[in-house]
A = this chain, B = another copy of it.
Amino acid sequence: MSSKSAKKVGHPLSELLRVPAGPVDLARFDPAATPGYPGEGKSDSAEETEALGAELSDLQEVLYADGRSEPETASRVLVVLQGMDTSGKGGVIRHAIGLVDPQGTQLRAFKAPTAEERAHDFLWRIRQALPGPGMIGIFDRSHYEDVLVVRVESLVPEAEWSRRYAQINEFEAELVAGGTRVIKCMLNVSFEEQRRRLAERLAHPSKYWKYNPADVDARLKWPAYQEAYAAALELCNTVDAPWHVIPSDHKWYRNWAVAELLRETLAGMNLQWPPAEFDVATEQARVEAS
């Protein structure tokens, strides 16, 4: 199946959204941009996403089939979603990851660590949640919280969190070497758009449950968070596991972009249907006779 987007000639989206090497200034990333989008805009985004979904779904099935047939060698994919409150981690999961067969995805949301989790090093709970063979794992927040909220709120001494960037790079390199493709997405929402979205949650009783007064507390530390994000995007921007900044003021673009990054990754893996582990002619005769 070919998607509308696939017909478009141009740079892969991963190139367009990849964070360039070197120092990062988040102010230079436009949260309202729509780079690489093949259609007109919001008006045709449902159509574009549907086309993309069909191809994504086909590719994912091959990955999954590999995982079932050859678990020792099958690849895995890990999508890491980070972003300020209201940037749309949940929306991406619902609308982009929701395009894929739920049997092939492993979702994990990381909250403030439990007492048991705090008793181990910060990567302990992460390692336990890694995707299995042939699976697409999705992290809603991740080990990056340990250099974001932990840094901003000084939850551990600087000597400790500052060591974590290198530890993360080592951990991710190990993951990639073991056959996991890592897609890191920072959902970049503007300060103004975040205010609008928070206000919207307070305007509709059906959205109260999404609102948390602590979100405003974090908002009041916006510059510190931007600085912490910039550090993570700079220091953990490796060749094996680069960072992408997803402009997220337009929800339709954000959802399309993450789905397209996933599609590109799968398409680039050169996935093949696993061979039969039985004699096809023999089995055909058995089925026929049954």
Contact = CB atoms under 8 A, between A and B. Distances in A.
A118 interface: no
5 contacts: A65-B209, A98-B98, A103-B107, A202-B280, A202-B283
Contacts of A284: 199, 202
A93 interface: yes
A206 interface: yes
Interface string A82-101: 00000000100110011001
A69 interface: yes
Interface stretch (A4-12, A149-157, A212-220): A212-220
Interface in A88-128: 90, 93-94, 97-98, 101-103, 105, 107, 109
Given A98-B101, A199-B288, A278 B90 contact: no
Interface residues of A toward B: which range? 35 or more
B287 A198 contact: yes
Contact of A208 (B90, B102, B109, B274): B274
Per DSSP, chain A at the interface is helix
Given A199-B284, A283-B216, A287-B198, A276 B205 contact: yes
Interface string A188-226: 000000010011001001101111010010011000000
A290 B220 contact: yes
Contacts of A274: 208-209
A284 B97 CA distance: 32
B69 A209 contact: yes
Contacts of A211: 276, 278, 283
Nearest to A94: B101
A65 to B, nearest CB: 4
Contact of A213 (B69, B206, B283): B283
Interface of A: 62, 65, 68-69, 90, 93-94, 97-98, 101-103, 105, 107, 109, 140, 195, 198-199, 202, 205-206, 208-211, 213, 216, 219-220, 273-278, 280, 283-284, 286-288, 290
Given A97-B102, A102-B97, A287 B206 contact: no
Given A93-B103, A94-B103, A202-B283, 17 more contacts: A62-B206, A69-B209, A93-B101, A94-B101, A97-B102, A102-B105, A103-B107, A103-B140, A199-B287, A199-B288, A202-B287, A206-B273, A208-B273, A211-B276, A211-B278, A216-B287, A220-B290
Contacts of A213: 278, 283, 286
What are the 6 closest A-B residue pairs judged by CB atoms, nearest first?
Answer: A65-B209, A208-B276, A94-B101, A198-B287, A206-B273, A216-B286
